[in-house]
């Protein structure tokens, strides 16, 4: 006897096309800013330790703070304004922002920054900081456009994938857990595992596939000119 199913539910579900994503994207935060430099950019993902009960003065570019291990407190205007960033969350900060760890446990935070390629050899400004990943040269945005900055987390289980898609701006990402293959429509295939990163320029059709049985977690940073579509999904594989 055939079961009675609710409206819209099929007893024989259609297979999901290979160009359709199987995973989850969580946007952590978004901000729109004027451009603060011209020319060719690149992105750095920094890991910065913050020992217990300590303060680190910030003298760097604007960028994203991601609280990787432990909650993170940012201080603005000589400490008059404080904001708490919970573990696994992110927030945009201006260059001169202090960073506080008032807890009894050591903390680790990530700083994700869009920079000019003229800064590739500049010294790191935070004590104990190290570069997790630095992109190659990225496509510059039109000089007359503001920039929309988005920080997000992508999670996929074994067998997962993103939709085949392109972006209106640049995407830079860092693999925190698992292994993925990055496929692009220029025929390139690149396998990236935890501790590595990748980047894609505007208009390039791309898709990420999970490799192996381990779940994947990816920290992503998108920089898109204002009034340009952030993402366009396509019905074909790269």
User: Domain for residue 182, yes or no?
Assistant: yes
DSSP one-letter code for 15:
P
Taking only the tens place, the pLDDT of each residue in 64-115 is: 999 999 999 998 756 667 899 999 999 999 878 899 999 999 999 999 999 9
Report the distance separating Cα 171 and Cα 206, nearest Å.
Answer: 11
- The gap between the terminal CA atoms of the chain, to the nearest Å, is 44
Instruction: Judge if 112 and 165 occupy the same domain.
Output: no
Report yes or no: 146 and 140 within 8 Å, Cβ to Cβ.
no
Instruction: Judge if 167 and 202 occupy the same domain.
Output: yes
More confident residue, 183 or 21: 183
CB neighbours of residue 140 within 10 Å: 15
Instruction: Judge if 68 and 135 occupy the same domain.
Output: yes
User: Domain for residue 3, yes or no?
Assistant: no
**pLDDT reported for residue 7:** 53
**pLDDT reported for residue 207:** 97
Instruction: Judge if 43 and 135 occupy the same domain.
Output: yes
Report yes or no: 7 and 130 within 8 Å, Cβ to Cβ.
no
pLDDT score of 209 more than 60: yes
pLDDT score of 161 more than 50: yes
Instruction: Judge if 114 and 171 occupy the same domain.
Output: no
Taking only the tens place, the pLDDT of each residue in 136-151 is: 999 999 999 999 999 9
User: Domain for residue 52, yes or no?
Assistant: yes
Among the candidates 139, 158, 182, a domain finishes at 139
Report yes or no: 53 and 64 within 8 Å, Cβ to Cβ.
no
Q: Which domain holds residue 82?
A: 36-139
Radius of gyration for the chain, computed over Cα atoms and rounded to the nearest angstrom: 20
More confident residue, 205 or 80: 205
User: Domain for residue 230, yes or no?
Assistant: yes
Report yes or no: 197 and 135 within 8 Å, Cβ to Cβ.
yes
SS3 100: strand
Report the distance separating Cα 165 and Cα 220, nearest Å.
Answer: 15
Q: Read off φ and ψ for residue 119, nearest 5 degrees.
A: -100, 10
User: Domain for residue 69, yes or no?
Assistant: yes
For position 104, which CATH number holds?
2.60.120.10
Instruction: Judge if 145 and 225 occupy the same domain.
Output: yes
Instruction: Quote the tokens at residue 191.
Output: 């396998």
Instruction: Judge if 133 and 47 occupy the same domain.
Output: yes
User: Which bin fits 159, alpha (ψ -120 to 50), beta or left (φ > 0)?
Assistant: left
3-state helix, strand, coil in the chain (%, to 5): 0, 50, 50
66 by Cβ neighbours in 10 Å (0-12 / 13-18 / 19+) ranks as buried
User: Domain for residue 127, yes or no?
Assistant: yes
High-pLDDT (> 70) share of the chain, %? 92
Instruction: Judge if 160 and 179 occupy the same domain.
Output: yes
Instruction: Judge if 112 and 177 occupy the same domain.
Output: no
pTM as predicted? 0.92
Q: Read off φ and ψ for residue 156, nearest 5 degrees.
A: -145, 140
Instruction: Judge if 24 and 74 occupy the same domain.
Output: no
What is the tally of structural domains in the chain?
Answer: 2
Which whole number is the average pLDDT over 182-205? 97
Instruction: Quote the tokens at residue 235.
Output: 């019905």
């Amino acid at each position: 006897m055939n079961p009675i199913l609710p409206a819209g539910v099929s007893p024989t579900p259609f297979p999901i096309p290979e160009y359709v994503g199987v995973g989850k994207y969580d946007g952590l935060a978004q901000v729109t800013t004027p451009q603060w430099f011209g020319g060719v950019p690149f992105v750095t993902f920094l890991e910065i330790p913050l020992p217990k009960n300590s303060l680190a003065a910030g003298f760097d570019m604007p960028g994203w703070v991601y609280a990787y291990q432990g909650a993170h407190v940012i201080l603005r205007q000589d400490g008059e304004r404080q904001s708490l960033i919970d573990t696994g969350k992110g927030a945009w900060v201006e260059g001169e922002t202090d960073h506080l760890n008032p807890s009894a446990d050591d903390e680790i935070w990530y700083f994700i920054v869009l920079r000019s390629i003229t800064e590739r050899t500049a010294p790191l400004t935070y004590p104990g900081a190290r570069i997790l990943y630095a992109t190659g040269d990225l496509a510059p945005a039109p000089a007359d456009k503001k920039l929309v900055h988005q920080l997000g987390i992508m999670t996929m289980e074994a067998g997962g994938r993103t939709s085949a898609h392109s972006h209106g701006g640049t995407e830079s990402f860092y693999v925190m857990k698992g292994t993925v293959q990055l496929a692009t429509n220029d025929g390139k295939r690149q396998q990236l595992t935890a501790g590595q990163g990748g980047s894609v320029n505007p208009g390039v059709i791309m898709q990420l596939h999970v490799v192996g049985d381990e779940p994947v977690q990816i920290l992503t940073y998108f920089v898109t000119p204002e009034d340009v579509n952030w993402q366009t999904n396509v019905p074909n594989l790269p």
